[in-house]
Structure 1
């Protein structure tokens, strides 16, 4: 396994840990209330900062950002519009 893959796996594990800790806090803070719509909430909360970070890395180049994200440029533009990032 290459060093780059090790670095990516470490980042992935760190992101997973952050999401897990945030969800644990969320459930703890519910104080007995029933959680609803967790999937959509997490996607919404994670997607915007991810898009912003990738765009910063590509200095706003949407074609490169779409490639990094593994989506078409049209899909990226739709997501940017949904999050008010255009």
Structure 2
């Protein structure tokens, strides 16, 4: 697990420099989806774009939140806003248990 914590001052600096209309995470997703769509052109994603994006994002999200909370599932579940049992099920799906 390799989450990286930014020093508080650095995190605040990055937050203040972001566009007021779009968060850094939202901008990153937008940029990545635009690039993906440009790469595939008119071809369709076999599993559907929505399912693919959720699958690609959920695993790293869970891994980083677990690392941030040093493996504490109760705190990670609270941070994610999901039940601990749901978190355990998702961790198992992504091989993170």
Class of the TM-score when normalised by the shorter of the 2 chains: 0.7 to 0.9
Q: Give the structure-2-normalised TM-score.
A: 0.73
What is residue 66 of structure 1 aligned with on the other side? 77
Gaps of 5+ in 1: none
45-54 or 27-36, which moves further after superposition? 27-36
Q: Give the structure-1-normalised TM-score.
A: 0.82
Which ranges of 4 or more aligned residues in structure 1 deviate by more than 6 Å?
Answer: none
Q: Tell whether 2:66 aligns with 1:34.
A: no
Deviation at 1:55, TM superposition (A): 0.6
Count residues with an aligned counterpart: 78
> Which of the two has greater helix per residue?
1
Deviation at 1:47, TM superposition (A): 0.5
- Between the aligned partners of 2:51 and 2:67, the Cα distance in structure 1 is 25
- Residue of 20, 33, 47 corresponding to 1:23: 33
2:53 is paired with a residue whose SS is helix
Deviation at 1:35, TM superposition (A): 3.9
RMSD: 1.8
Q: Which has the higher contact order (CA 8 A, sep 6+)?
A: 2
Gaps of 5+ in 2: 1-11
